[in-house]
Amino acid sequence: MKDGGYDVIVCGAGPGGCALAAKLASGGASILLIEKEDTPGDGRAWVVDVERGTFDEARVPVPGPDAMWREAGEQVMTTSDGSFSITMHDSPLRPVRNREYVRQLASWAEDSGAEVRTGLTVASPVLESGSVTAVETADGERLCARVVADCTGISGLLRRQVPAGWLMGGLVETSDTVLARREVLSIDPVKAAAQNVVPDGVRVDRASPRGSYSVETAFMDIEDGFVDLLVGQKAGGGRPTADEAFTSIVEGWGFTRGKLFGDGGPIPIRRPLESLVGDGFITLGDAACQVIPMHGSGTASALIAADIAAEVILETLDSGRCDRAALWPYSHRFMSGRGAVLAYYDVLRKHAESLESDDVNRLLIKGIMTADDVREGLVPKPFERSPLELLRKLRRGITSPMLLSGFALSGARAMKTLNHYRKYPATFDEETLRRWVSGIPA
């Protein structure tokens, strides 16, 4: 701590917060990392599938042996009733144990010189002369810093309390939230083999099992005696929650014996916030809605954002200015790069939500949605096909003119959105930002 305060206080020790704290501390900044749980990663023991290139791109340690999870030898995607399937290519994703990886990153932060305080809840940012200068904890303690980073996950607790003019959003709407549960359960191998509802050694992704925007992924290893089950479900709308759907699947199987590890929680699936920085303030990860909207994957984005933010913050600390304009290069680099692809997929996500399970089944059966398409969404990158090519392909399987025009329109709007984000303002000025925001395709 320098002069009674820190250079940066990072609030929330998820993957994003831990990576940011480690990078800043390695760069010589005085850092306080605050986590409300007693140990980083507590209550978040799910497996996350992370793009393989992430660790290099974000310049973070690869998950150690404890944080690696088992990969299936083969992967298929089936229709909602399981009657038709396509074989997926080698997965571009690496399964990682979230809790263990978060602990590894938190140790990296500590070893790099960050002070880590756990069991401490941040309550609010403190603003002085329009700038964030400190945070107040739930116990009323005031902790000062030149920059405060909100990495509190979906609650975005601090960014929701900064001035509205900073365009850092409010609460994430229920319509922009997905609920997910992923657990690894031990099994009775004899019963599981006899039932054969989940094939041994193959990861099965069931598309839209409970209406649009729902997922169910199961991977069973009979010899090692486990099944890894992920259930994702759009929040609200009278739908069962992911936890309810999870319980009903497991009860229906009847061959599981108990949880080995795993947890569940909400994920924001809207496009990233319009601005990621304020005076003396930044946000990243789920707090900034930097998640792939089509499937709720946020780990890679949080780590990549942490890498960019750390570089920019270290420069601002050196320059002695930590205002919005000085921190802006982080907002610009993220939004015009990965943020643009996330916004593109948000448009497609909203359209996909209007589809029924039968529509999605037809896309698979007629060969309109292929293994290549799924891979592009996972990586993520925009589809390479031209809109005309896409339309021709869609005509093969979609007879409804409404549905066809819906695809064409959303594809065009997604491209327009992508191009708009690519032109995210390179330098900060209030008026240019407002003009850019008002130009986001409706």
Name the residues that contact ligand FAD, by CB under 6 A. Answer: 11-17, 34-37, 46, 48-50, 98, 121-122, 151-153, 155, 157, 180-182, 264-265, 267, 285-287, 291, 296-300, 302
**Cβ of residue 217: shortest distance to ligand FAD, in angstroms?**
9
Gyration radius from the chain CA atoms:
22
* 330 versus 428: smaller Cβ distance to ligand FAD: 330
Q: State in angstroms the smallest separation of the CB of 22 from ligand FAD.
A: 12
Q: Which is nearer to ligand FAD, 154 or 403 (CB)?
A: 154
Q: How far is the CB of 253 from ligand FAD (least distance, A)?
A: 19
Nearer to ligand FAD, 34 or 60 (CB): 34
**Strand pairing report for 202-207 and 74-78:** parallel
CB of 179 to ligand FAD, least distance (A): 8
Tell me how far apart the alpha carbons of residues 170 and 160 are, in angstroms, rounded to a whole number.
5
Identify the residue whose tokens are 């107040």.
Answer: 136
365-391 residues labelled b (16+ CB within 10 A) or e (exposed): eeebbbeebbbbbbebebbeeeeeebb
Decide whether 11 or 88 has the Cβ nearer to ligand FAD.
Answer: 11
Would you say 162 and 171 are in contact if contact means Cβ atoms under 8 Å apart? no
Smallest separation, CB 19 to ligand FAD (Å): 8
Token digits of residue 181: 């549960």
Q: In terms of CB distance, is 46 or 407 closer to ligand FAD? A: 46
Strand partners, 59: none
How far CA 95 is from CA of 40, 287, 338, in Å, comes to 19, 23, 21
In this structure, what token pair is assigned to residue 147?
Answer: 């920059």
Q: How far apart are CA 230 and CA 254, in angstroms?
A: 17
Smallest distance, Å, CB 408 to ligand FAD? 30
Are the beta carbons of 62 and 96 closer than 8 angstroms? no
Q: Which residues pair with 5 in a beta bridge?
A: 2
Q: Which residues are 122's β-sheet partners?
A: 137
Which residues pair with residue 50 across a beta bridge?
94
Q: Which is nearer to ligand FAD, 281 or 428 (CB)?
A: 281
Q: Which residues pair with 95 in a beta bridge?
A: 49
**Distance in Å, CB of 302 to ligand FAD, minimum:** 4
Structure tokens at 221: 């290893």
Kindly tell me which of 15 and 329 has the beta carbon lying closer to ligand FAD.
Answer: 15
- Min CB(336)–ligand FAD separation in Å: 20
Number of residues written out for the chain = 442
Rounded Cα–Cα distance for residues 267 and 153 (Å): 9
Q: Which is nearer to ligand FAD, 264 or 339 (CB)?
A: 264
Q: Is 393 helix (H, G, I), strand (E, B) or coil?
A: helix
Chain centroid offset of residue 97 CA? 15
Find tokens 């407002």 and name the residue.
434
d(CA 264, CA 380): 23
Residue 425 per-residue DSSP state: -
Give me the least distance between CB of 1 and ligand FAD, in Å please. Answer: 18
> Min. distance of Cβ 27 from ligand FAD in angstroms?
19
Closer Cβ to ligand FAD, 16 or 27, answer by number? 16
Q: Which residues contact 215 (CB under 8 A, 6 or more apart)?
A: 205, 206, 207, 208, 209, 230, 231, 232, 295
Q: What is the largest CA-CA distance in the chain?
A: 69
Return the number of the residue (282 or 403) whose C-beta is nearest ligand FAD: 282
Report yes or no: 9 and 293 within 8 Å, Cβ to Cβ.
Answer: no
Decide whether 12 or 293 has the Cβ nearer to ligand FAD: 12
How near is the Cβ of 140 to ligand FAD at its closest, in Å? 14
**Residue 11: CB minimum distance to ligand FAD, A:** 5
Comparison of 20 and 312: residue with beta carbon closer to ligand FAD: 20
Q: In angstroms, rounded to a whole number, what is the distance separating the alpha carbons of residues 200 and 219?
A: 8
